[in-house]
């Protein structure tokens, strides 16, 4: 679809939802679950470390791997897509950012009140009682053989502190999911950026937006199947810069 038409949709929109996936953070150098891991973690399957069962079976291995991911995030910087999305808030009456990413790059770029559907690497909690734990900037042991780090203990019940992300088999955080649904159902323009829309229930959001009459635009490097009611722009996440410039100069 021509960028000029998408830009016109932006100009006319009253409430824009930007829904982001791993493709946005990947442009900041953050590996996705589909990427081949390198170095210390090359021999591990990321999906097999992303369950409560894996954590309970080997807490130090699982915690060490997630701390490695958190370190990668802290060493990365928001890219042009993150910055453009934050800048969009200055041009439209209402902007809601919903992300499947577990990093804080949207916030560091300047986006406010980001809805994190899959939790955050920076919000660990007790695996037993749910007590919120402040994550220290301590990565000692990440470069030792095996990469194991003993997880902290909960100050309330002495249980292990687990990463604050949503693992396979877990429900999305109720508050975040409700907020994401409400935004999708009350917007008039829905951008899906850097996600193929195949991971449910998060992939339901563009469908909800479409069902209430919103225009839905997918921005992704690789083309995938969409309905005749949706629009597709092929390219990197940073193409949002071009759209905003075209719409608002």
Which residues are tagged catalytic? 118
Alpha carbons 33 and 181: distance in angstroms, whole number: 25
What's the CA angle centered on 167, arms 139 and 186, to 5 degrees? 110
Contact present, 220 and 226 (Cβ < 8 Å): no
Contact present, 125 and 133 (Cβ < 8 Å): yes
């Amino acid at each position: 679809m021509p960028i000029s038409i998408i830009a016109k949709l932006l100009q006319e929109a009253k409430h824009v939802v930007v829904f982001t996936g791993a493709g946005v953070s990947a442009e900041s150098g953050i590996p996705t679950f589909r990427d081949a891991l390198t170095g210390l973690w090359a021999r591990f399957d990321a999906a097999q470390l992303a369950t409560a069962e894996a954590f309970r079976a080997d807490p130090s291995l699982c915690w060490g791997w997630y701390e490695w991911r958190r370190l990668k995030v802290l060493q990365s910087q928001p890219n042009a897509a993150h910055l453009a999305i934050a800048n969009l808030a200055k041009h439209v009456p209402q902007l809601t950012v919903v992300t499947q990413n577990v990093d804080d790059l949207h916030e560091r770029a300047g986006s406010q009140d980001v809805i994190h559907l899959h939790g955050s690497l920076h919000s660990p909690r007790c695996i037993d009682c749910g007590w919120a734990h402040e994550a220290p900037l301590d990565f000692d042991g990440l470069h030792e053989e095996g990469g194991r780090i003993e997880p902290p203990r909960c100050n309330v019940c002495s249980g292990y502190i687990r990463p604050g992300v949503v693992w396979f088999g877990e429900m999305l955080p109720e508050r975040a999911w409700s907020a994401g649904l409400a935004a999708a159902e009350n917007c008039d323009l829905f951008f899906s950026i850097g996600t193929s829309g195949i991971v449910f229930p998060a992939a339901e959001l563009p469908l909800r937006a479409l069902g209430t009459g919103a225009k839905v635009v997918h921005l992704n490097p690789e083309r995938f199947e969409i309905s005749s009611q949706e629009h597709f722009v092929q390219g990197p996440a940073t193409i949002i810069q071009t759209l905003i410039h075209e719409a608002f100069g």
